[in-house]
């Protein structure tokens, strides 16, 4: 199946664009949070640390500048000590304001400023709660600008994809929150790629196996993200809730609606206290609104910021299993060029140990008269099986079964079972082993 995807053109060939979906709502109640995150992404740099209230982002206490990092341990320790000392000073003054018998009319210095920040509240509980709710945030202005420069490579094609899927176009800026538009981003919980999919969710929308992981393909993952968001919107009825579900999970947002009795995102952020709905979940939607405004402003007037060039390619959905070397030969495209366009191809398939997976959306260079479908049909049937092929491997001198299993991302037990090997230590050079695909 040939899917034309030329992203420098005005639109997909033979595919009229759908009108854009209504813009994302911007509830007035989220104004302070959006303003805060606009400062984080657009005004404060990475050496600035901001001290604020985790629940009331309009309550910004102090902004300090750290000494520039120079890679030395001494400077790192000094930076960390400064961050902690500044926080402890705020805690002490807020706790002092929360003690009984405070003369609020006689306050001076920072305590007077904190008193004014909290609207001159004379309720000691206000300050006791605030002392336990201080959060620190570093600015990201310089790193964010680099993310915007990277995004220029993808943003127009993402807009088209989201329009085709019936999803608000502003959500194309979500990777600024998730990955800073890095295609190879990895989280400490296993999310992967620019759109930060977990493998279990990704397999519902794209190919994720030992040969190919389409989470690493920004365009395929973008369409998958749009479809996931559309499904969340169909379940929840509101785009702010669907966006928040991208971070907190669909079931989590259903719980939030049920417990608060509301579908208003501002109400849920303020009043839902689910155990897993923490700072990141509460701020996911406000952050998206903020990055959208800041990124669009930079893209409209980048100044001397060098923007990445958009991509141009065609997409061919593989109708059978095939090796990279065969694809390279029949399409007359070097393996290096194919790999540059297809970061989803994993190492076993790069080496030729595994076939590229049937259904994989392969990206190829666009050129006049190029007909991938006809060229693919010219490949002998034996080299493009419809079922997962059984691969083999000839054991080299000195190789153990455990080393072979590790190289091919399988287990010793799987190789023993497939090859009817009782003793794993009896593998000899020259043996031809069957490998699981």
Does the pLDDT of residue 349 top 50, yes or no? yes
User: Using only C-alpha atoms, what is the Rg of the chain?
Assistant: 27
CA dihedral sign, ordered 342, 345, 351, 354: negative
Which of 140, 405, 188 shows the shortest CA–CA distance to 294? 140
SS3 of residue 93 by DSSP: helix
pLDDT at res. 348:
82
pLDDT at res. 197:
97
Per-position b or e across 133-164, b if 16+ CB within 10 A of its CB: ebeebebbbeebbebbbbbbbbbbbbbbbbbb
Who's near 341: CB < 8 A, 6+ residues apart?
311, 313, 363, 364, 365
pLDDT at res. 166:
96
Place of tokens 């809730």: 241
Q: What is the mean pLDDT of residues 106-122?
A: 98
Does the pLDDT of residue 101 top 70, yes or no? yes
pLDDT at res. 134:
98
Using an 8 Å Cβ cutoff, are 109 and 130 in contact?
A: no
pTM of the model: 0.85
Does the pLDDT of residue 340 top 80, yes or no? yes
pLDDT one-digit tens code per residue, 58-79: 999 999 999 999 999 999 999 9
Q: What percent of the chain has pLDDT over 70?
A: 95
Domain 11-25+142-300 has CATH 1.10.530.10: yes
What is the band of 13 on the pLDDT scale with cuts at 50, 70, 90? Answer: very low
Q: What is the mean pLDDT of residues 136-161?
A: 97
Q: Which structure tokens are listed for 14?
A: 């033979």
Most confident listed range (12-21, 56-65, 360-369):
56-65
Mean pLDDT for the chain?
92
Homologous superfamily of the 391-435 domain (CATH): LysM domain (3.10.350.10)
What is the band of 19 on the pLDDT scale with cuts at 50, 70, 90? Answer: confident
pLDDT at res. 351:
84
What is the band of 110 on the pLDDT scale with cuts at 50, 70, 90? Answer: very high
Q: What is the mean pLDDT of residues 353-369?
A: 92
The whole-angstrom separation of Cα 217 and Cα 54 is 35
Q: For the purposes of burial, counting CB atoms within 10 Å of the CB of 171, is it exposed (0-12), middle (13-18) or buried (19 or more)?
A: buried
Q: What is the mean pLDDT of residues 426-430?
A: 88
Beta-strand runs (E) in 67-138: 134-138
Does the pLDDT of residue 358 top 50, yes or no? yes
Does the pLDDT of residue 218 top 60, yes or no? yes
pLDDT at res. 161:
96
Using an 8 Å Cβ cutoff, are 324 and 374 in contact?
A: no
Using an 8 Å Cβ cutoff, are 246 and 232 in contact?
A: yes
Q: Where in the chain is the domain with CATH 1.10.530.10?
A: 11-25+142-300
Which of 190, 211, 188, 185 shows the shortest CA–CA distance to 202? 190
Using an 8 Å Cβ cutoff, are 172 and 155 in contact?
A: yes
pLDDT at res. 285:
98
What is the band of 418 on the pLDDT scale with cuts at 50, 70, 90? Answer: confident
Does the pLDDT of residue 11 top 90, yes or no? no
Q: What is the mean pLDDT of residues 75-90?
A: 97
The whole-angstrom separation of Cα 258 and Cα 263 is 9
Q: What is the mean pLDDT of residues 398-423?
A: 86
pLDDT at res. 2:
42
Which of 360, 357, 421 shows the shortest CA–CA distance to 389? 357
What is the band of 165 on the pLDDT scale with cuts at 50, 70, 90? Answer: very high
Place of tokens 């990704």: 202
pLDDT at res. 393:
84
The whole-angstrom separation of Cα 237 and Cα 260 is 15
Q: What angle do CA 297, 298, 301 make, to 5 degrees?
A: 90
Does the pLDDT of residue 17 top 70, yes or no? no
What is the band of 4 on the pLDDT scale with cuts at 50, 70, 90? Answer: very low
Place of tokens 């901001």: 50
pLDDT at res. 420:
82
- 353 DSSP 8-state letter: S
Q: Where in the chain is the domain with CATH 3.10.350.10?
A: 391-435
β pairing state of 361-364 and 391-394:
unpaired
Report the first-to-last Cα separation within the chain, whole angstroms: 23
Q: What is the mean pLDDT of residues 110-120?
A: 98
Q: What is the mean pLDDT of residues 361-385?
A: 94
Which of 183, 121, 171 shows the shortest CA–CA distance to 147? 183
Long-range contacts, stretch 406-414, CB < 8 angstroms, 24+ apart: 407/353, 408/348, 408/353, 408/354, 408/435, 408/436, 409/210, 409/348, 410/435, 410/436
Using an 8 Å Cβ cutoff, are 324 and 338 in contact?
A: yes
Q: Which structure tokens are listed for 184?
A: 């190879």
| HSE (side-chain half, CA atoms, 13 Å) at 408 | 26
- Top pLDDT among 392 and 405 is at 405
Does the pLDDT of residue 383 top 70, yes or no? yes
CA dihedral sign, ordered 41, 304, 194, 347: negative
């Amino acid at each position: 199946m040939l899917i034309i995807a030329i992203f420098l053109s005005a639109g997909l060939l033979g595919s009229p664009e759908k009108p854009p979906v209504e813009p994302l709502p911007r509830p007035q109640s989220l104004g302070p949070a959006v303003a805060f995150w606009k400062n984080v992404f657009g005004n404060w740099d990475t050496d600035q640390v901001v001290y604020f209230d985790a629940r009331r982002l309009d309550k910004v206490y102090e902004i300090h500048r750290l000494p520039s990092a120079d890679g030395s341990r001494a400077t790192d320790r000094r930076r960390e000590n400064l961050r902690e000392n500044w926080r402890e000073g705020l805690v002490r003054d807020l706790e002092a304001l929360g003690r009984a018998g405070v003369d609020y009319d006689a306050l001076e210095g920072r305590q007077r400023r904190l008193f004014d920040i909290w609207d001159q509240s004379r309720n000691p509980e206000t300050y006791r709660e605030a002392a336990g709710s201080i959060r620190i945030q570093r600015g990201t202005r310089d790193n964010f600008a680099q993310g915007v420069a990277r995004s220029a490579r993808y943003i127009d094609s993402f807009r088209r994809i989201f329009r085709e899927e019936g999803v608000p176009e502003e959500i194309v800026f979500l990777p600024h929150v998730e990955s800073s538009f890095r295609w190879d981003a990895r989280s400490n919980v296993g999310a992967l790629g620019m759109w930060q999919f977990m493998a279990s969710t990704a397999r519902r929308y794209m190919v994720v196996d030992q040969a190919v992981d389409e989470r690493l393909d920004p365009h395929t993952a973008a369409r998958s993200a749009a479809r996931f968001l559309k499904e969340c919107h169909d379940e929840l009825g509101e785009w702010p809730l669907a966006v928040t579900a991208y971070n907190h999970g669909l079931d989590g947002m259903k719980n939030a609606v049920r417990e608060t009795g509301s579908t208003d995102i501002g109400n849920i952020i303020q009043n839902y206290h689910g155990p897993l709905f923490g700072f990141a979940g509460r701020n996911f939607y406000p952050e998206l609104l903020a990055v959208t405004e800041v990124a669009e402003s930079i893209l409209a007037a980048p100044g001397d910021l060098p923007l990445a060039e958009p991509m141009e390619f065609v997409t061919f959905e593989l109708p059978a299993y095939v090796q990279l070397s065969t694809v390279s030969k029949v399409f007359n495209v070097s393996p290096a060029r194919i790999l540059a366009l297809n970061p989803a191809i994993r190492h076993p398939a790069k080496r030729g140990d595994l076939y590229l997976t049937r259904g994989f959306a392969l990206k190829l260079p666009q050129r006049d008269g190029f007909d991938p479908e006809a060229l693919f049909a010219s490949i002998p049937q034996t080299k493009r099986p419809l079922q997962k092929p059984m691969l083999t491997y000839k054991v080299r001198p000195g190789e153990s079964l455990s080393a072979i299993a590790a190289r091919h991302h399988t287990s010793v037990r799987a190789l023993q079972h497939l090859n009817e090997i009782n003793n794993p230590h009896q593998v000899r050079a020259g043996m031809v082993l069957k490998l699981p695909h």
